[in-house]
Amino acid sequence: MIRSILLSTLLFSSATVFSQKLKPVSYQDGSQKLNGLVTSNAGKKLPGVLILPAWKGIDDEAKTAAADLEKQGYIAFIADIYGEGNIPADNASAAKTAGFYKKDYAAYQKRISLALEQLKKNGAISDKIAVIGYCFGGTGALESARGKLPVAGVVSIHGSIGKDQSRPNEVISTKILVENPAEDKSVTPEDYNNLIKEMNDGKADWQIITYANSKHTFTDPKSPDYNEVMAKRAWNHTLLFLKEILK
C-alpha cells in the first residue's frame, strides 16, 4: 500500500515537472486545431525525434520519453494525432478513434507529416529526424516508413504491426526498429510473418527485438503489463538506434 502511494506520488510529481519543461505548440490540419508539445531546447539546431503517443493521446509515457530525449541531445516533439476536442475518455472511445486512423492510414500519415513540420520549425535538422511511437503510435511509426515520410528511421514500441494485405508491399528506405513484446496478444503470428515479408520485399534495413515475459504495454510504468527490466532494455535499444542514425 505504501509502495503504491509512493509510486503514485512520484508519477504525479514527474508529470508536473514534464508539463513545466514541455512547451505547448498549436498547429492546424485544415479547421482542426492540434496541440502538440515540444522540449525546452526548441530553436536550437539539433537532431529531432517525433513521438507518437498511445491510443489515448499525449500521456506521461510520451512526456517521459521527450524529457529523456532532450537530455540525450535531441529536440523532441509529441504529436497530437486526434486534435482538440477529440481526445478519447476511455478505452472504448480510444479503440474507435485509433481504429479510424488505422483504417484511413492516409489521414494518419498526414497528421504525422504535419507534426514533422512542427518539429522542423522548432529547430530539428531536416535530414536528422526519427519517429518513435507507442502502441497506436507504434503503428504510426511504421506508417511513417510506409508513407515514405522524410525521416531517417522509425521505432515501433509494442505497436500494432499488422497491415491490410490488400495494400502492396513497396520499397522502404527508412531504417526500422520494431520492439515487440513476446506475449503481446494483439500481434498474431500472421501479423509478425507478414511484417517480415513486407520489410524484405521492400529491401528495408530492419530489425525486430522481442522481449521475453512481456505483455502489450510492457514499457508503461502505469500499466499492469509493466516489465521494468525489459522496459529499460527497450529504451536503451531505442537510444542506440537513434544514436546510429541521427548522430
Q: pLDDT tier at 18 (50, 70, 90 boundaries)? A: low
224: helix, strand or coil: coil
Percent of residues, the chain, with pLDDT higher than 90? 91
What integer pLDDT is reported at residue 20 of this predicted model?
A: 55
Cα distances (angstroms) measured from residue 160 to each of 17, 154, 207: 30, 14, 16
Closest CA to 40 of 21, 59, 65: 21
In whole numbers, what is the pLDDT of the chain averaged over residues?
Answer: 93
Mean pLDDT (whole number) for 223-235: 98
Cβ within 8 Å of residue 79, ≥6 positions away: 34, 36, 50, 51, 52, 53, 111, 112, 115, 140
Q: Is the pLDDT of residue 14 over 70?
A: no
- pLDDT at residue 17 tops 70: no
- In DSSP terms, 130 is beta-bridged to 49, 153
Q: Is residue 51 predicted with pLDDT exceeding 70?
A: yes
Give the cell for residue 88: 478519447
**Which of 6-15, 91-100, 111-120, 182-191 is predicted with the least confidence, judged by mean pLDDT?**
6-15
